[in-house]
Amino acid sequence: MAMFVNGIVLRTIKTKKNIMKKLLLIAAIASFTFACNDGSKSSTTTTDTAAVAPAATPAADSSAMSGSQGMKDGLMTLKDGKMQVLKGGSWVAMDSAVTCTNGRKVSVNGEVSKGDKKRKLEEGWKIDKDGQITDKDGKMVDTSGWD
């Protein structure tokens, strides 16, 4: 009789464990579902806010500056020892020093400075209005000692 009672007790414990496992699984699925939902109501319609710029006319000397249609206004580059800035899709000579949003100052001769650190841009290098410097291949230049 004791075995039968133990059998019933063990079966009851196993049943409770299975029920608890199922409840735990359901709770985990529910919490993952709610965690993935940001809670904000958003409409299913999307609007494209990108402005389409008219095609830029190429500059007189576009050999080193080809592909300027995909670049943003305010981008600066060193060409023939002088800085040029992209305005309206064409490269024009930079007439005065520019201070970037990160505090870097770009002079008309291609010298970039921030605080007491100075660096001369190399031919073909570019610096955007945020102060990010890229080489002539478009790769970011290491400026780790500046910030």
Q: Measured on CA atoms in the order 52, 58, 63, 64, is the torsion positive or negative?
A: negative
Higher per-residue confidence, 68 vs 95: 95
Residue 129, pLDDT score = 87
User: Do residues 139 and 131 make contact, with C-beta atoms less than 8 angstroms apart?
Assistant: no
Where does the pLDDT of residue 5 fall: very low under 50, low under 70, confident under 90, or very high at 90 and above? low
* Token pair of 28 as six digits: 């985990």
Mean pLDDT computed over every residue of the chain: 76
The DSSP call for residue 68 is G
Q: Which residues lie below 8 Å from residue 113, measured CB to CB, with a gap of 6+?
A: 104, 105, 107, 119
83 burial class (0-12, 13-18, 19+ CB within 10 angstroms)? Answer: buried
User: Do residues 126 and 133 make contact, with C-beta atoms less than 8 angstroms apart?
Assistant: yes
Q: Please give the average per-residue pLDDT across 12-26, as a whole number.
A: 86
Amino acid identity for residue 33 in this structure? T
Assess whether pLDDT exceeds 90 at residue 1: no
Residue 60, pLDDT score = 44
Higher per-residue confidence, 42 vs 29: 29
Residue 24, pLDDT score = 92
Instruction: Quick: pLDDT tens for 79-132.
Output: 888 889 988 888 899 988 889 888 899 998 889 988 888 888 889 899 888 888
User: pTM for the full model?
Assistant: 0.50
Assess whether pLDDT exceeds 90 at residue 42: no
Q: H helices of 37-125, where?
A: none
Assess whether pLDDT exceeds 50 at residue 26: yes
132 burial class (0-12, 13-18, 19+ CB within 10 angstroms)? Answer: middle
Distance (Å, whole) CA 147 – CA 135 = 19
Higher per-residue confidence, 85 vs 8: 85
Residue 63, pLDDT score = 40
